[in-house]
Structure 1
């Protein structure tokens, strides 16, 4: 029998304030998901996601929803890494991210790493819906196990839509119970940190960055739209972040 875990949702709405800045008419979180507005940078509003409790634990259902209106700019980060733990409740935990950006809006989604600990079970679903003319930087980083620890089971799906058409739709599963070969040479090759960066910019319609290798285990690939995908593997979280930061800087 599965024991119900914690249910929590955080919501953010960003709007052009008509004075050269971005207002946040909705900024609410509950339970373990707390939101804090931090100092703005120019016309960009900045929000920090703060974990008020441990989790997600087994059976938990967390969700974060953000909507960016026309001409609004929003950057979302997190105060610390998210740590998936087994907990006392049985069953898989779930973490859903739902993001929407209107034409002329911009979203930078830059949370800290997700760490999958031993015996945890977590399914992460991220869905980004963009309107033509919007801009996006989406970073996702996952670390399989703490130092000297085997990972739990982690499944992550990322879907990015532009004008209702898919730019990217992919899923990766790692750890016990995942399809065979996830740790083999064709997938992670023994690495324990994996990440990706999706960058969508209207100017890529005129000049798309060339595909290229970035370091030893990373690559930049154009997508079927004004977007690029950077995928990277690394031995640890620090190295992974360095590779993704360098890739973003190289895009301007």
Structure 2
């Protein structure tokens, strides 16, 4: 039997002393291959490239990203991540750890995570931010490929600002998940779900108002200088449109 994969990618961003951002650490293993791409003025840009299939059953994948004071970093992915069944019966794990210092800025904007039939994946994303850090974090999940029942997918998202937890949510979908995940109180039959967390120091005195945008995304202020944009949709394209509209409305 082929051994399950254990791999870690590390990305560290630091000011380069010339008004830009350097990447003194940019390393990956197995299916996690971070590559630097052309960024904008002052901002470094990294794309995570899938070097092999995964995550498969039993895999243990981890991405660690650190943004120092004064650095600006954007991280995306070259394509959607596809969770697949593997020879191992154990669930796969994909852990993301993000750390942003005061005055640092991170835009974490990967493509969708697709839960293929028969897969079993547990994803955790934790962002630890200093009091004056900035963050845009997007997560999008698609349950099953076209015409396919989804696998089991559990996703937990935690955001802490200056040591204080402002968001800690978990959603479990697919076979074996707690009852009601597909009902009117959760996904209401939709197969795409996503959220964007926006953290800005200026939200502390002037938090955005709670509302529902025309495309269906909800804007929810959090207990801190942060806001949660969340939406469900029939497919990935409509989900992205709804979240982009809500993000643009923030300015």
TM-score > 0.5, shorter chain as reference = yes
Q: 1:7 & 1:205 partners in 2: Cα distance?
A: 40
Aligned to 1:76: 75
Query: How far did residue 249 of structure 1 move?
Result: 1.0
Provide the C-alpha distance between the structure 2 equivalents of 1:23 and 1:41, rounded to a whole number of angstroms.
Answer: 13
Residue 49 of structure 1 corresponds to 48
The structural deviation recorded for 1:218 is: 2.2
Q: Does 1:12 align with 2:7?
A: no
Equivalent residue, structure 1, for 2:88: 89
- State the aligned residue count: 251
Q: Which runs of 4+ in 1 moved over 6 A?
A: none
CA contact (8 A) 1:113 1:237 kept: yes
How far apart are the structure 1 equivalents of 2:250 and 2:244?
10
Q: CA deviation at 1:126?
A: 0.4
Unpaired runs of 5+ in structure 1? none
The range that moved more, 124-133 or 3-12, is 3-12
Distance apart, 1:215 and its partner CA: 3.1
How far 1:4 sits from its partner (Å)? 4.8
The residue that corresponds to 2:233 in the other structure is 234
Structure 2: 5+ residue stretches without partners:
none
Q: Are 2:142 and 1:143 equivalent residues in the alignment? A: yes
Cα distance in 1 for residues equivalent to 2:11 and 2:217: 32
Superposition TM-score, scaled by structure 1 size: 0.98
Aligned-pair Cα RMSD in Å: 1.1
Which runs of structure 2 are paired with 1:79-228 in the superposition (5 Å)? 79-215=78-214, 217-228=216-227
Per the normalisation by structure 2, the TM-score is 0.98
For residues 226 and 215 of structure 2, the distance between their equivalents in structure 1, rounded to whole angstroms, comes to 23
User: What is the rounded CA distance, in whole Å, between the counterparts of 1:45 and 1:73 in structure 2?
Assistant: 6
